[in-house]
Amino acid sequence: MPDDRTVEIRGGAVTFRVLAAGRGAPLVYFHSYHERSAWSPFLDLLARSFSVYAPSHPGVTGSTGIETLDDLLDLTLAYDEFLQALGLERAHLVGHAFGGMMAAEIAAVFPARAGSLTLISPLGLWRDDAPSADVLILPSDELAPALWHDPASGVARQWATLPVSDQESLAAEVESIQRRSSMAKFAWPIPDKGLKKRLHRIGAPTLLLWGDADRANPLVYADEWQRRVKGAALRLLPGGHMVLHETPESAARAIVEFIGA
């Protein structure tokens, strides 16, 4: 079981719930907002090679203070202070979807923080000719096929299962709205918040990981990222947008290999 604790910054105005496990060089994982749980088999696999820290974003259950963060820059600064509070001058940064966008922001604004950067189907760029799916608002029956290569797979069905009792169902609805509205605060209505102006500042070795059947954030964005982040490597894995949960072994191995190389 990962260690579960709370890290405060700004005298407690912002708190991060952070799960941590493993030994080795520090690696910080930034969640996508579609992960219902703060820990996953993918992180277990990474924890075999690294000291993994997985903070929940402010506004997501356990982390607080989103009302004090007005925009993406505020959130980026908060994560800088969070890393400071953990005593991590430098870490491997890994992020998925919105978390990938977040990791890239940190690596661009605070280049010294990033030992390496792994972006798994990151948001943050925009092309009018290939809009990423409007994942914040898709009803559940349309969201699952957008996120999962095979919505009928065990892991996808487990993700899609919601409680049946009214009380738990209301709690799940509140949790889901909180999660998505927290992302909306920083990414509404289009997730391009100017990152492209800052990407040239990234100095860390960068890996792009993408499911080859990603329907939520199409592959054209991989090209876009490669074009804008000098020297970024692209690794395609069989799977959809949730590739790190669909094939956690391949995803974790790709990261270990990349960082070890």
Partner 1 sequence: MKWNVDTELQPCRQEPVPGDHCCPVALDKQDEGVAGLAEAGGGSGDSGEHRSEAGVSAVTRAASVAAALAPVKTVVSSPIAMKICFFHLMPYRFLPDDFEQRYRSVWVDVPHHLHDPEKTRGLYHEFLDELEFAETQGFDGLCVNEHHNNAYGLMPSPNLMAAALTRRTSQAAIVVLGNSLAAYNPPLRVAEEFAMLDLLSDGRLVAGFPVGTSMDMNFAYGINPATLRDRYYEAHDLVMQAWTRPEVFSFNGKYTQIRYANIWPQPLQKPHPPVWIPGGGSVETWEWTAKLDYVYCYLSYFGYKRGKATMDGFWEASARVGADDNPFRAGFLQLVCVSETDAQAEREYFPHVHYFYQKCLNVWEGFAEAPGYRTVKTVQSGTRAQVGAAARRVRQSLDWGQYLDQGYVIAGSPATVRQQLTECIKTLRVGHLMVLLQIGSMPKELALKNTELFAQEVMPHVRDLWPGYKDRWWPSGARNGSA
Residues forming contacts to partner 1 in the complex (CB under 8 A) are: 66, 70, 134, 136-139, 142, 170, 173-174, 177-185, 188-189
Q: Where are the beta strands (DSSP E) in the chain?
A: 3-9, 14-21, 25-30, 50-55, 91-96, 114-120, 206-211, 233-237
Cβ 178 to partner 1, closest distance in Å?
A: 7
For partner 1, give the closer residue by CB, 127 or 227: 127
CB atoms within 10 A of CB 25: 14
**At residue 249, what is the residue type?**
E
For partner 1, give the closer residue by CB, 154 or 189: 189
Cβ 228 to partner 1, closest distance in Å?
A: 24
Cβ 186 to partner 1, closest distance in Å?
A: 8
For partner 1, give the closer residue by CB, 4 or 188: 188
What is the spatial distance between Cα 91 and Cα 68, in angstroms, rounded to a whole number? Answer: 26
Q: Which residues of 222-241 are buried (b: 16+ CB within 10 A; e: fewer)?
A: bebbeebbeebeebbbebbb
CA-based diameter of the chain, in Å? Answer: 51
Cβ 57 to partner 1, closest distance in Å?
A: 13
For partner 1, give the closer residue by CB, 119 or 136: 136
